[in-house]
Structures are given as structure tokens and as C-alpha cells.
Amino acid sequence: MTDPGAAGPKARRVTRRALLERWWLLPVAGTVGTFGYMGWYASRVTFAKRAPGAPAFQDAAPQRLAALTQLGTDWAEVTFTYAGRPCTLLRLPAPTRGSVEVPGGHLAGFSRVCTHLGCNVNLVRDAEVLAFAFNYRAPGGQDHPQLGCRCHYSVFDPLKAGEAVFGKALAPLPRVRLDVRGRDVWATGIEPAPEYSG
């Protein structure tokens, strides 16, 4: 007569042995999963960036921002708060979607709230700072000031209507509608904030 209790421990030992023989599958599966996720994330932050379309301004209370004389040179900047959001007003050397023409240049306004996780962006004037701190250089050697987020190093190009050109942010910066009234620049509307792309 066979003792049923004798087969139990032997079967368990075989199962443990089979498990130990395949222990290497766990780190391999973890490595494959990690690199798969990294590849997916890298392709997402590289190829899923959204280009700015035609401005979709929402009306807001008119607010005087600055005198034109404060914006006399390219890349002059005035920061302000509008509709509860920190913003920036820039004089650009070329037109972009949503900008307004002024004598000798163009003005554009952008929200300074990063579209990745909501940190503030700032104008980074030095191309070497962009290269060193943000790991970004404009393609074709066309270096110019950019709006950079120091939280996660996203970069937005004012000459491309605030498009996210580098980093984790996918959506462009919301634009501010500008109106030149006499010798002053006014804000009259702003695009809605996108959902964060964290």
C-alpha cells in the first residue's frame, strides 16, 4: 500500500527546484519591462508633442500690460499676471501664430505655467545655459532665447507660438491675446490651460 503522505513533500521539492531553476526569468522580465517602458516614454515625449494651432482665445477682462517703449528691442520681456495665471509678454524678431505686429517687430504673450506639471517657465536667454542645464540646442544652430521649465527641463519656443520643443511637456504654452491701444499693450483674452501631461 502506498503512503499518500510520502508523495507530498517530494512533489513540493520538485516544484521548488523548478522554481529555483527559473529564477533568472524574474530579472529578465523586469529588465525587458523597464526598457519597454523607457522606449514607450521616450517615443511619447519625442513624437507626441502637439503643435500650436490657430489661437483659441477666451475673453477675459482687458488689462494694460506695458508701454510700447518698454519693449523697444528684440527679446525684451515684461512679466505679468492675467486671469490668475503668471504670463510673459515678449518682443520677437519674427511673427508667430497669435502675435501682433508693432513698428519694427512683433509682440507675443504666453502663459508661464508649464503644460507638464504646472511649474513656472522663465525666459532663458543664454544658449549655453540651455545646452548645459536643459540639454537642448535649437536645430540648425539657430539659437535664440527659449522659455524653459526648471522643474523637469521642458523647453518652449516663442518663435513657434510656444510649442514644446524639448522635454516632458507635450502641449504648447497657452497664448495671451494682445491688443495695441495707442502707446500701450493690453491683454484681452487667453487660451484655456491644457490638462497636464505628467
Q: What is the pLDDT of residues 150-193, one digit of tens each?
A: 999 999 999 999 999 999 999 999 999 999 999 999 999 999 99
At 5, is the pLDDT very low, low, confident or very high (cuts 50, 70, 90)?
low
| CA 49 remoteness from chain centre | 9
Cα–Cα dist 60/189, whole Å: 5
Is 30 or 47 the better-scoring residue by pLDDT?
30
Neighbours of 14 (CB within 10 A): 10
Percent of the chain with pLDDT over 70: 84
pLDDT digits (tens, 9 = 90+) for 41-63: 555 556 678 899 999 999 999 99
Name the 3-class secondary structure at 168: coil
Q: Is 118 left (phi over 0), alpha (psi -120 to 50) or beta?
A: left
What pLDDT sits at residue 41?
54
Residue 28: what pLDDT? Answer: 75
> Would residue 192 be called left, alpha or beta, if left means φ above 0 and alpha means ψ between -120 and 50 degrees?
beta
The DSSP 8-state label assigned to residue 94 in this structure reads S
Q: What is the pTM of this model?
A: 0.79
Q: Exposure pattern of 154-185 as b/e (b: 16+ CB <10 Å)?
A: bbbbbbebbbbbbbbbbbbbbbbbbeeeeeeb
Q: Which residue has the higher pLDDT, 3 or 54?
A: 54
Number of separate helices (H) and strands (E) present in the chain: 3, 11
DSSP 167: S
Average pLDDT over every residue of 9-20:
62
What is the model's pLDDT at position 179? Answer: 97
Please check whether residue 175 is in contact with residue 188, taking contact to mean a CB–CB distance below 8 angstroms: no
Q: What percent of the chain has pLDDT over 90?
A: 68
Could you tell me the CA-to-CA distances from 93 to 61, 105, 144, 158 in Å, in that order? 28, 6, 10, 10
Mean local confidence (pLDDT), 71-92 = 97
- Nearest-angstrom CA–CA distance, 166 and 75: 20
31 pLDDT exceeds 90?
Answer: no
pLDDT greater at residue 43 or residue 123: 123
Mean pLDDT of the chain: 87
Strands of the sheet containing 146-149, edge to edge, are 121-124, 146-149, 155-157, 163-166
| Residues 191, 171: Cα–Cα separation, whole Å | 12
9, pLDDT greater than 60: no
pLDDT value for 37: 61
> Three-state DSSP class for 25?
helix
Q: Reply yes or no on whether the pLDDT at 7 is more than 70.
A: no
